[in-house]
Amino acid sequence: MSILVLASGGGSNFQALLDDADLRPHLRGLICNRPGAGCLERARASGLASQVLDHQGFESRQAFDEALAQAILDINPDWIVMAGFMRILGEPFMREFDGKMVNIHPSLLPKYKGLNTHQRALDAGDTHAGVSVHWATAELDGGPLIAQRSVAIEPSDDASTLAARVLQQEHQVYPAVCRALTQGRLQMKNGTTWLDGQPMDHWDRF
Ligand code: GRF
């Protein structure tokens, strides 16, 4: 089964997918919405096909969403993996790919949807931060969970030291989830995540 990656930034999560020998044969390409983003160089260096679809070149959100949807349909992947894709997509787009698209978010969802997750965890005095992998649905950072890993917050942490430790976990959990996707072990059905034919209720399986 094939995977298309969507990314906007440096692409360290994308690199973790590229570096996974089991996953690499399943990767079909990268679509990036920011010209010059680091993820594009990573794709070039690894020989993976990449495309830039610059959202700034479109006159409306809808026009960008439609162009992205068409680019995805042209590639026709089994799975769409968002790896730091920093663009909110409209409901028609999300519905079209419902159950085929996953996202990684640097917080223990449902806490801290949106941006600045690590600073918000620090400001709240939380003892733990972490990462969530979930189905990307029309609700921003709100689709059914697939996996979580938690990271203890140290008294000396600031947002960047915490982000670095959470990223280490991201780089392990996302390839593991993506391997399960390519093996046909994971599905979203009736708003629930299923693993190996069973509904999931623990997020520590990956
Ligand atoms: C990661 O923290 C990811 O969880 C979030 O954006 C960041 C992307 O980092 N969605 P990178 O581009 O993969 O290095």
> Which of 167, 173, 178, when mutated, tests ligand 1's pocket best, judged by the most ligand atoms within 8 Å of its CB?
167
pLDDT score of 176:
98
> Which of 101, 104, 112, 148, when mutated, tests ligand 1's pocket best, judged by the most ligand atoms within 8 Å of its CB?
104
Q: Which of 77, 83, 75 shows the shortest CA–CA distance to 17?
A: 83
Distance 36 CA to ligand 1 centre (A): 16
Per-residue pLDDT of the chain (206 residues; tens, 9 = 90+): 999 999 999 999 999 999 999 999 999 999 999 999 999 999 999 999 999 999 999 999 999 999 999 999 999 999 999 999 999 999 999 999 999 999 999 999 999 999 999 999 999 999 999 999 999 999 999 999 999 999 999 999 999 999 999 999 999 999 999 999 999 999 999 999 999 999 999 999 99
Q: What is the DSSP string of the chain?
A: --EEEEE-S--HHHHHHHT-TTTGGGEEEEEESSTT-HHHHHHHHHT--EEE--GGGSSSHHHHHHHHHHHHHHH--SEEEESS------HHHHHHTTTTEEEEESS-TTSS-SS-HHHHHHHTT-SEEEEEEEE--SSTT-SPEEEEEEEEPPTT--HHHHHHHHHHHHHHHHHHHHHHHHTT-EEEETTEEEETTEE---S---
CA angle, residues 158, 169, 127, in degrees to nearest 5: 45
Among protein residues, the one whose CA lies closest to atom 12 of ligand 1: 11
Among protein residues, the one whose CA lies closest to atom 6 of ligand 1: 84
Ligand 1 atom at shortest distance from the alpha carbon of 83: 13
Which residue out of 26, 105, 118, 134 is catalytically annotated?
A: 105
Among protein residues, the one whose CA lies closest to atom 2 of ligand 1: 106
The domain spans of the chain are: 3-199
Contact residues of ligand 1, CB 6 A cut-off? 9-14, 83-84, 104-106, 167, 170
Q: Which amino acid is at 172?
A: Q
Phi-psi category of 29—alpha, beta or left, where left has phi over 0 and alpha has psi -120 to 50?
A: left
Distance 3 CA to ligand 1 centre (A): 18
Q: Which amino acid is at 22?
A: D
pLDDT score of 181:
98
Catalytic, 105? Answer yes
Superfamily designation of domain 3-199: Formyl transferase, N-terminal domain (3.40.50.170)
Distance 7 CA to ligand 1 centre (A): 9
Ligand 1 atom at shortest distance from the alpha carbon of 106: 4
pLDDT score of 74:
98
CB atoms within 10 A of CB 2: 15
